[in-house]
Structures are given as structure tokens and as C-alpha cells.
A and B are shown apart, each in its own frame.
Chain A
Amino acid sequence: MVKVAIWGSLRGFTEGRAEIEVEAATTKEMLDKLVEAYPGLRPQVERGVSVAIDGFVYKDAWFTPIRPDSEVVLMPLMVGG
């Protein structure tokens, strides 16, 4: 199981939970399980999210491995200039 931190404005769709536990070994699995458990997250996930794992931000990298003790943070999709 990995713990995924959810940013504040999405907590309305996770029954107020700031952290959700899902069974996942990769970012794709993690996102699929999140949406399965909390369908209200689907619009945001479909608009795009980044995932920070142990301090580094990953964008659209489905098969990035996640260890059970990794810090996993859901973030809005990053854009830069």
C-alpha cells in the first residue's frame, strides 16, 4: 500500500481525506486506483496531474515505480515558461 497526499481543493472528493492509501506499484496504477476509489477525482486526473515521489516531480510517467514507503504527492499538472 502507498499513501498518496491529496491537495486541499480535491479533498471535497475524497470525503475530506488528505491522504489516501491505495495498492499500487507504479504511478499509473496509483492514479487508476485513486479514481476507482474516488470517482470525483476523475475530472482533475483527466485534466492532468503531476506526481511527486520522494521529492521529485514526474509528469505523465506511468511506470515510475513507487515503493510502499515512498512519499507520494498529487500535484496539478506543471507548466513552465
Chain B
Amino acid sequence: MALDKQTTAKREFKVVGTRPLRPDGVDKVTGKALYGADLTAPGMLVGKILRSPHPHARIRSIDTSAAEAAPGVKAVITHADFTLPDDEDMRDILVNCMAFNKALYDGHAVAAVAAISEAAAKAALKLIKVDYEVLPHVTDVDEAMKPDAPVIERGRQAETVGEGFSENVTSYCEFGHGDIEAGFTRADHVIERSFKTEATHQGYIEPHACLATFTTDGKADLWCCTQGQYMVRRVCSAIMDMEASQLRVTPSEIGGGFGGKTTVFIEPVALMLAKKSGRPVKIVMSRSDVLRASGPTCSSSMDVRIGMTKDGRITAGHAKLRYQGGAFPCGTVEMGAMAAFAAYDLEAVRTQGWNAMTNRPKQAAYRAPGAPMAIYAVESVVDELCQHLGLDPLDVRLKNAAKAGTKASYGVTFTDIGLSACLAAAKAHPHYAAPLGPGQGRGVSCGFWFNFGGDTCVTLNVNMDGTVSVTEGNPDIGGSRASIGMMAAEELGVPFDKVRTQVVDTASLGYNEVTDGSRVTFAVGLATIKAAQAAKAEMCRRAAMIWGIDAEAVTWEDGCAKPSGPNAGDFPPMTLAEIAAVSSQTGGPIAGHHEVNADGAGVSFGVHLVDVEVDPETGATKVLRYTVFQDAGKAVHPDYVEGQMQGGAVQGIGWALNEEYIYGEDGRLQNAGFLDYRVPVASDLPMIDTVILEIPNPGHPYGVRGVGETSIVPPLAAIANAVSRAAGVRLTELPMSPPRILAALDAARPKAAAE
């Protein structure tokens, strides 16, 4: 669709910008909401998956005969039950769900059982005999890139990769402009540092769960927790070699996704077990399985070099990013390479990125995938330059900030963006002037994300009682039902409580892309506004019929159809409810639809400010104060926008301080549980303060920008900069867990003593 440039005039909103009660709140706090694992069906079987204990092993054979004969077992499946699809992406998804010739990581599924009880299914798993030939493994990205590294799979290298790398390196990308060496020559000081970040998990509370049924005539139903029921239908129908129309996917309520539920892990397995057994099959992943075998983020190894003049002008920036995204090709490094320097207006910039396969689970998206680590490295070096040159970190960022007209490092010239406004707001905020105590440090970082639109389909029905039903196809992971309903109410001119928004199954609407890319409030909101406009046009037509005047002589204002002027006639306004009440008599039900591949999402920037205190005895970091500044374009429901900003900050704090995938020498995950994989909880944190800025996005009728992802980008660097200033030593590896901070302090002490 061509860009929708409706946001030209400043608009006064009545519903948008208010804070009504969340429509899903009561169900969630009373336990009524139905999540993936809550669904049951008559005759349902329990599905369980056998997983590889080896990080890398050839599967010589799998003997399922004893399991098949076990009491209560109704079906056992392996890769032999599936046919590899022709499409490479689909093939990778299937092989990740069920290993074919090799187990590629600790926890990789190798077989599955459906039985009448959990106990019977578990017992049957123990009877499956897998003959493995254990192979050398690699889990570290730098090791995986070496020419002599164990190769995960041959033939996956893209044409862009040069000589001298392992076959594990699947892709290479490069962005930038200008002469960077000339830029470094102009600098008064240049700093180059290397960084590493570990893989983290999205940490959604709800594990993956699904329930599959298969009829004898080849139709199937699947209920699951997902960020995209249409994606599940597309992928599963391809894997099951069935027509998409024969598979209906219904999304459950979702207990967190953050990108981790934008693909499938268990759904094809449940479908195949249901097909083979002829019974409904439910699979619920354990927390251990979620951590071992769903989709964590990439780990990274990065080198960043930046030059700066004495007065704080960045003269050149160069980043080399090496990401691993598990045992399959992964494009996330491209996002990181494009985002790394996006916050800066630079004459000379270059980013290079390599992806390497390792014996780890297949990476899935995690809020702004690829950007947090790259921007962490860049923002750390910027901060160190500020320290070295004695410059204020916010002043330096303001001096170099990208703005309208800036050519970004990835080639695009920005239009209206809110980075400078966020920086100025941070500079003026009382937090920035608050005194710091001993052992405390303050960190600043910018963040950026692209935001997307994509395929979207909405139906809006005007009910005969004057209420409005909106059906949309994107699972609500961040409050979208509220914001979509508010935009419908705003456009129609009715109260918010007259609108109910529901997320429907794949049979009810056309294709909707997954809930990702911070796209839903933007794209579904846009489609909802258009659908409401279509319904308004129809209601004006119905009123015109009743009044006996031309439809063009009727306008919609304040929730009513009105004659457009004195010449149109003298008729009292008809409300939506009055028109709806006689809809049958005036031609039938009234509805509006809109289907679109929405574009014009508009990029998003944010700035985070944090104070921490580092305990030099234990290496523990306490977050004392945290403030998020972010451009939302237009905050439809400010509570939810603030929630997104706070949630992203907290997940980023976890990434910075605690969370990491720890693999042992044996290539097995050492901390597959929430006791050892430590996410921050409320008691670890101060209240996260938020400042919403509103620089309207010209691509949306109300100026909306996505807000869901940008907020996880700055915390890694903001915390690292605060910790480094508090500890008096630059930390270059995440997470900055107490042992790492103590090691850095110990390493710095003799040096400091010598100086």
C-alpha cells in the first residue's frame, strides 16, 4: 500500500490518549483467561518429546518398537514420519522441531510419544533407543568461525561470505558510507574495544503449549499460544503437506512472547501425533525444555572503533559484529549491523556482520532482534570517549544525534524522528541532575528500532444494539485489544466501552502477519481506522436513505450522521445506535473491512538513564533509579505504552546483569531453569519511571509509532556505562554478573596501584 500520509493536522482526541481499564484484566487476575495449556478435548492424549542429551551427534538409528508396545501408548513418531519440505526456511523449522540425520544441540527433539497419561508418555520415552555417534561440538561464536571448527552443516554458506572462514559462517553483511580512515585521522581520540554478550531467553512466563486434533478426512484444528496463528497455519500446513484451508489455528491467551513465539517448536509434532493416533494430543513444554529447545537470542562477539574530536564530534565509527544464532542460518546480525550506529549523524561509518552456526538451539526473535547487543557495544565506546575527553554524555549525543535529513548508516534518510527530543528531555529531567553517592554511577544510552507494518486484515461489525465488534488477527501481547478498540471508538465517535475487540482464528479473517516488529498498534490500528471509516460511510448512506437525501450530503460527526449543511436538509442527527437499530430495514448488517500490507511504520528512538551502585566486595549491582524516554508517535493508551517501556527496560536490565545461557565444556546447557537462569523480579528493581514523547509518525492516521521493541535496546549499554563508571573500570562482557565485576575490579586494582 502506498504510504498513508494523514497525519498532517494536529488532531484533538477524545478516546485516544486516555487510560481506560484493560479489557483482559479481570480474566487474567481471576484465572479465567485460557492459556495454551488450559485447553482440553475429549479423549485427549498427552504428548511428550524425547530430546538429545548430546550437543552434536549423528543419529544412526532410532528403535521405537518397545515404546510403541508400552501400555497406554497410542503413537510414536520420529523424523521418519515427516517429509522434508522443498522450501529451505520450512525445512529448517521442521528439522528444528524434529531432528533428522543429526542432533544439532543439547535438547534437540529426536522422537515423540502420545499416550493416555503423562506417566505413560514419560515411561514410553525411556523405551526409545537412539543410537548416537557423538560428534565434536562448538557453542562459542568465535570458535565456530575458525576454519578448523566442527561444521554443523555443510552447504549453508551464502555467496557473500569470503575466504578463510569455517563453513559455519553462513552470511556476511556490510553497511555504511564515507571514508572511515579519513574520519579516524580527523579524530582527537580513537577508542577500540572488543565486547561479548551471551545469549538470553525471552523469559515469557507461559511455556509453549498446544492441542492438536486431526479428523479422518484430513482436516485439523490446532489451539496454541503463539504470536501469530496465521504463521502457525502456514508453517504447519506446509510441514504436514496439507492445504492451509484444512488447518484452523486458534490462538489462546498468551503469557508473554517478546518474539519467542513467532515460530513453532511443538505444533508440527502435536499435529503428527494427532494424525497418527487419531486422538487429540496436547503438548506442554517444561521450563527446562523451553530454555533448552525454544529460541533464545543470539550471542555475540563484537569489535567497535570510534573516533571523536575534543569537542565531542564523532568523526568515524566502525563495528564488526559476529553473532551466532544456533544450528541454522540466521539473519539477525543484519539487523544489528544496520542498527548499530543508527542514533548518530555520521559522515563516515561502516558496520560488518557475520553469522555463524553453532551447536545451540535455533535463535528466535527477541524484541528488536540484533539491535541491543550492537548498540551496547557502540554506546559503551561513546561513553568511554566521553569519559576520556571529559565531556557530558548527553551533550555529546545531542551534538551527534540523528535527525530528519540524516543519512543513517544503513542508507536511509530519516524523516521526522524523536531522538533529539528524547535526549533533550533526559537532559532536562531531574534524574540527570540528582546527586550520586560513593560507589554509584550514572549511565546513558540511546536506542533504536526500525518498526514494521505488514499484512493486516480487520473486520468491524456494527451490532444492532449500537455496540461495535472488532475482529483482528494478532494475538494481544502488549495491550493491543485495548488500543485497537480505542482507535475504533475514536474514529466512530462512540465510548470505548461500546467496542469489544477480539482476536480470532485463522478461518475468520485473511492473513495477518505475526505480532512482531512493534507492528500491531500501528498496522492493525491503521486497518481498524480504515474499517471504521468504511462503516461510517455506510452509516451515512443509510441515514441518507432514511432522510431521502444524497449520501454525499451526509457527514459523520461526534458519533452521529448529520446533514452536511443547511442545503442538505434539516434533520436531527442519527446516532450510531439509531442507525444500527434499523440496519435490517435499511439494507442489512453494517460492517467495515480493511485489508492491507501496511507500510510507513516509522522508526523509533529512545534514551535510557540509570543510576546503579556496585558493591566492590561482592560485585553485586543494585539498580537505584531508572528513567526511560521514548518517542511513541502518539500514545494510544499511555498505561500500555509505559508498560512496554518499563518491560523492555527490565528485560534489558536482566540481559545486562544476570541472564545468560551457560554451556559447559560438554556442550550442554547448565542452567535450564529459572533458579539458575535469573530474570529480574520486582524486588530487584526500583520503579521504572517513564517519559513519553509524541513526535507524530506521518505514516499513521493518528501518528502512532510502534513502541514494543525500542525499550529493550538501550538498557544493556545504559547499565554497562553506569556500572563501569561506578566500578571505575570498563566492563566489556555481558552479563555483568558479580563474578565478572569482581574479576574486572581485581584486574584493575594492581594496575591502579601501579599508576
A interface with B by C-beta (< 8 Å): 5, 7-10, 12-13, 18, 40, 43-44, 47, 52, 54-61, 64-65, 71, 73-81
- The reply to whether B411 and A7 form a contact with Cβ atoms under 8 Å apart is yes
Chain A min CB distance to B292 (Å): 20
Chain B residue numbers with a CB within 8 Å of A73 are 410-412
- The reply to whether B597 and A81 form a contact with Cβ atoms under 8 Å apart is no
Interface residues on B, range: 35 or more
Chain A residue numbers with a CB within 8 Å of B176 are 8
Choice from B173, B174, B260, B599 contacting A56 with Cβ under 8 Å: B599
Chain A residue numbers with a CB within 8 Å of B172 are 9
B611 at the interface (CB under 8 A from A): no
Binding-face segment, B120-128, B275-283, B361-369, B563-571: B361-369
- The reply to whether B450 and A78 form a contact with Cβ atoms under 8 Å apart is yes
**B 323-343 binary contact with A (CB < 8 Å = 1; else 0):** 000000001101100100000
- The reply to whether A81 and B262 form a contact with Cβ atoms under 8 Å apart is yes
Known: A57-B450, A80-B516. A64 touches B338 (CB 8 A): no
Chain B residue numbers with a CB within 8 Å of A18 are 177
- The reply to whether B411 and A75 form a contact with Cβ atoms under 8 Å apart is yes
Choice from B159, B369, B599 contacting A40 with Cβ under 8 Å: B159
Choice from A40, A47, A78 contacting B452 with Cβ under 8 Å: A78
Known: A59-B597, A64-B599. A9 touches B519 (CB 8 A): no
Choice from B173, B260, B369 contacting A8 with Cβ under 8 Å: B173
Choice from B338, B451, B518 contacting A76 with Cβ under 8 Å: B338
B65 at the interface (CB under 8 A from A): no
Chain A residue numbers with a CB within 8 Å of B454 are 59
B259 at the interface (CB under 8 A from A): yes
Select from chain B the residue with minimum beta-carbon distance to A57.
Answer: B450
- The reply to whether B410 and A56 form a contact with Cβ atoms under 8 Å apart is no
- The reply to whether A61 and B597 form a contact with Cβ atoms under 8 Å apart is yes
Chain B residue numbers with a CB within 8 Å of A77 are 331
B433 at the interface (CB under 8 A from A): no
A12 and B159 CA atoms in complex are apart in Å by 10
Chain A residue numbers with a CB within 8 Å of B332 are 79
Within 8 A of A (CB), among B413-435: 413-415
A56 and B516 CA atoms in complex are apart in Å by 18
A35 and B155 CA atoms in complex are apart in Å by 23
A57 and B516 CA atoms in complex are apart in Å by 15
Chain B min CB distance to A13 (Å): 8
Known: A7-B174, A56-B602, A59-B452. A79 touches B517 (CB 8 A): yes
Chain A residue numbers with a CB within 8 Å of B331 are 76-77, 79
- The reply to whether B2 and A65 form a contact with Cβ atoms under 8 Å apart is yes
B601 at the interface (CB under 8 A from A): yes
- The reply to whether B452 and A75 form a contact with Cβ atoms under 8 Å apart is no
Within 8 A of A (CB), among B1-39: 1-3
Chain B residue numbers with a CB within 8 Å of A47 are 158
A73 and B78 CA atoms in complex are apart in Å by 45
- The reply to whether A55 and B413 form a contact with Cβ atoms under 8 Å apart is yes
- The reply to whether A81 and B411 form a contact with Cβ atoms under 8 Å apart is no
Select from chain B the residue with minimum beta-carbon distance to A18.
Answer: B177
Select from chain B the residue with minimum beta-carbon distance to A11.
Answer: B174
Select from chain B the residue with minimum beta-carbon distance to A5.
Answer: B411
- The reply to whether B597 and A80 form a contact with Cβ atoms under 8 Å apart is no
- The reply to whether B365 and A80 form a contact with Cβ atoms under 8 Å apart is yes
- The reply to whether B173 and A7 form a contact with Cβ atoms under 8 Å apart is yes
Chain B residue numbers with a CB within 8 Å of A13 are 159
B56 at the interface (CB under 8 A from A): no
- The reply to whether B334 and A81 form a contact with Cβ atoms under 8 Å apart is no
**B 493-529 binary contact with A (CB < 8 Å = 1; else 0):** 0000000000000000000000011110000000000
Chain B residue numbers with a CB within 8 Å of A12 are 160
Chain A residue numbers with a CB within 8 Å of B626 are none
Select from chain A the residue with minimum beta-carbon distance to B412.
Answer: A52
A44 and B331 CA atoms in complex are apart in Å by 12
Within 8 A of A (CB), among B57-100: none
Chain A residue numbers with a CB within 8 Å of B2 are 64-65
A7 and B411 CA atoms in complex are apart in Å by 8
Chain A min CB distance to B323 (Å): 13
A59 and B413 CA atoms in complex are apart in Å by 17
The 8 tightest CB contacts between A and B, nearest first, are A81-B259, A80-B517, A8-B174, A81-B365, A73-B411, A76-B334, A9-B174, A80-B516
Chain B residue numbers with a CB within 8 Å of A7 are 173-175, 410-411
- The reply to whether A80 and B369 form a contact with Cβ atoms under 8 Å apart is yes
Chain B residue numbers with a CB within 8 Å of A76 are 173, 331, 334-335, 338
- The reply to whether A61 and B1 form a contact with Cβ atoms under 8 Å apart is yes
A8 and B411 CA atoms in complex are apart in Å by 10
A71 and B335 CA atoms in complex are apart in Å by 20
Select from chain A the residue with minimum beta-carbon distance to B404.
Answer: A55
A43 and B172 CA atoms in complex are apart in Å by 13
A66 and B364 CA atoms in complex are apart in Å by 33
- The reply to whether B334 and A61 form a contact with Cβ atoms under 8 Å apart is no
Chain B min CB distance to A19 (Å): 10
Select from chain B the residue with minimum beta-carbon distance to A75.
Answer: B410
- The reply to whether A52 and B599 form a contact with Cβ atoms under 8 Å apart is no
Select from chain B the residue with minimum beta-carbon distance to A77.
Answer: B331
Chain A min CB distance to B310 (Å): 30
Chain B min CB distance to A57 (Å): 6
A60 and B455 CA atoms in complex are apart in Å by 10
Chain A residue numbers with a CB within 8 Å of B1 are 61, 64
**B 296-337 binary contact with A (CB < 8 Å = 1; else 0):** 000000000000000000000000000000000001101100
Of the candidates A57, A79, A80, the one having the most CB atoms from chain B within 10 angstroms of its own CB is: A80
Known: A56-B3, A80-B259, A81-B367. A43 touches B334 (CB 8 A): no
| 18 A-B residue pairings within 8 Å (CB atoms) | A43-B158, A43-B159, A44-B158, A56-B601, A57-B452, A57-B601, A71-B413, A76-B173, A79-B331, A79-B365, A79-B517, A80-B259, A80-B449, A80-B450, A80-B452, A80-B516, A81-B258, A81-B516
